[in-house]
Amino acid sequence: MIVEIGHFAFILALAAAIIQAVSGLMPRDSLAASAIAARASMALLGLIMLAFAGLEYAYITSDFSVLNVIMNSHSLKPLVYKIAGVWGNHEGSMLLWILMLTVFGALIATLPTIDDPLLRRRALGVQGLLATGFIAFSLFTSNPFLRTDMPPLDGNSLNPVLQDLGLAFHPPTLYLGYVGFSSVFSLAAAALLTGQVDNNWARIVKPFVALAWLSLSAGIAMGSKWAYYELGWGGWWFWDPVENASLLPWLTGTALLHSLLVLEARGALKRWTILLAVVSFSLSLLGTFLVRSGVLSSVHAFAVDPLRGTFILMLLSVYCGGAFSLYALRAPMLKTIRLFTPVSRESGIVVNNMILVTMAATVLTGTLYPLLMDALGLAQLSVGAPYYNATVVMMAIPLFILMGAGPMLPWKRPGRWLFVRPLGLCAVIAIAATLISGIKGALPMVGFGTAVWVMASSLSILWVARKNITLKTLAMSLGHFGLGLAVIGMMGTMLWKTEDIRVLNPGDTYTVGRYDLRFDGVRDVFGPNYGASEATITLGAETLHPQKRWYPVSESETTESAIRLTALDDLYIVLGERDLKFGPDAWVIRTTIHPFVSTLWAGFSLVVLSGLCMLGYSFKRKRAA
In the range 32-51, which residues lie near other proteins by CB under 8 A?
Answer: none
Considering only residues 583 to 622 of the shown chain, the ones binding other proteins according to CB under 8 A are 588, 590
**Applying CB under 8 A, does 150 fall inside the site for other proteins?**
no
Which contacts of 563-568 are long-range, i.e. CB under 8 A and separated by 24 or more positions?
563/229, 564/539, 565/597, 565/598, 566/598, 567/598, 568/595, 568/596, 568/598
Identify the CA nearest to 611 among candidates 218, 112, 178: 218
Cβ contact 266:411 at 8 Å: yes
Give whole-number Cα distances, 595 to 428, 432, 435, in Å: 25, 21, 19
Considering only residues 441 to 480 of the shown chain, the ones binding other proteins according to CB under 8 A are 441-444, 447
Q: How far is the CB of 56 from other proteins (least distance, A)?
A: 30
Identify the CA nearest to 177 among candidates 143, 224, 211: 211
**Applying CB under 8 A, does 565 fall inside the site for other proteins?**
no
Identify the CA nearest to 259 among candidates 342, 156, 178, 352: 352
Q: How far is the CB of 504 from other proteins (least distance, A)?
A: 11
Closer residue to other proteins (CB): 127 or 352: 352
Phi, psi of 29 (to 5 degrees): -75, 125
Q: How far is the CB of 468 from other proteins (least distance, A)?
A: 30
* Cα-only R_g, the chain: 26
Q: How far is the CB of 221 from other proteins (least distance, A)?
A: 16
How far is residue 476's CA from residue 453's CA, in Å, rounded to a whole number?
15
Considering only residues 389 to 408 of the shown chain, the ones binding other proteins according to CB under 8 A are 389-391, 393-395
The H or E element containing residue 10 is: helix 2-25
**Applying CB under 8 A, does 275 fall inside the site for other proteins?**
yes
**Applying CB under 8 A, does 508 fall inside the site for other proteins?**
no
**Applying CB under 8 A, does 15 fall inside the site for other proteins?**
no
The interface region with other proteins, picked from 23-31, 122-130, 277-285, 457-465 by CB under 8 A, is: 277-285
* Burial track 362-380 (b if 16+ CB lie within 10 A, e otherwise): bbbebbbebeeeeeeeeee
Considering only residues 294 to 333 of the shown chain, the ones binding other proteins according to CB under 8 A are 294-295, 297-299, 301, 304, 306, 309-310, 313, 316-317, 320-321, 324-325, 327-328, 331-332
Number of chain residues interacting with other proteins (CB under 8 A): 102
Cβ contact 190:126 at 8 Å: yes
The interface region with other proteins, picked from 45-53, 149-157, 385-393, 473-481 by CB under 8 A, is: 385-393
- The bridge status of strand 498-504 relative to strand 531-539 is unpaired
Closer residue to other proteins (CB): 71 or 275: 275
Strand ranges of the sheet holding 562-565, from the earlier edge strand across to the other edge: 498-504, 587-595, 569-578, 562-565
The interface region with other proteins, picked from 2-10, 96-104, 460-468, 497-505 by CB under 8 A, is: 497-505
Q: How far is the CB of 511 from other proteins (least distance, A)?
A: 16
Tell me which of 235, 424, 507, 552 binds other proteins, using CB under 8 A: 235
| Cβ atoms < 10 Å from Cβ of 31 | 9
Please give the DSSP secondary-structure letter assigned to residue 31.
H
Instruction: Identify the sign of the CA torsion 88, 92, 94, 99.
Output: negative
Which contacts of 320-325 are long-range, i.e. CB under 8 A and separated by 24 or more positions?
320/278, 320/282, 320/285, 323/185, 323/188, 323/189, 323/278, 323/282, 324/278, 324/282
Closer residue to other proteins (CB): 210 or 295: 295
Closer residue to other proteins (CB): 112 or 415: 415
Closer residue to other proteins (CB): 148 or 297: 297
Q: How far is the CB of 408 from other proteins (least distance, A)?
A: 18
Tell me which of 71, 126, 205, 368 binds other proteins, using CB under 8 A: 368
Tell me which of 57, 237, 419, 550 binds other proteins, using CB under 8 A: 237
Tell me which of 113, 341, 533, 556 binds other proteins, using CB under 8 A: 341
Q: How far is the CB of 444 from other proteins (least distance, A)?
A: 7
**Applying CB under 8 A, does 547 fall inside the site for other proteins?**
no
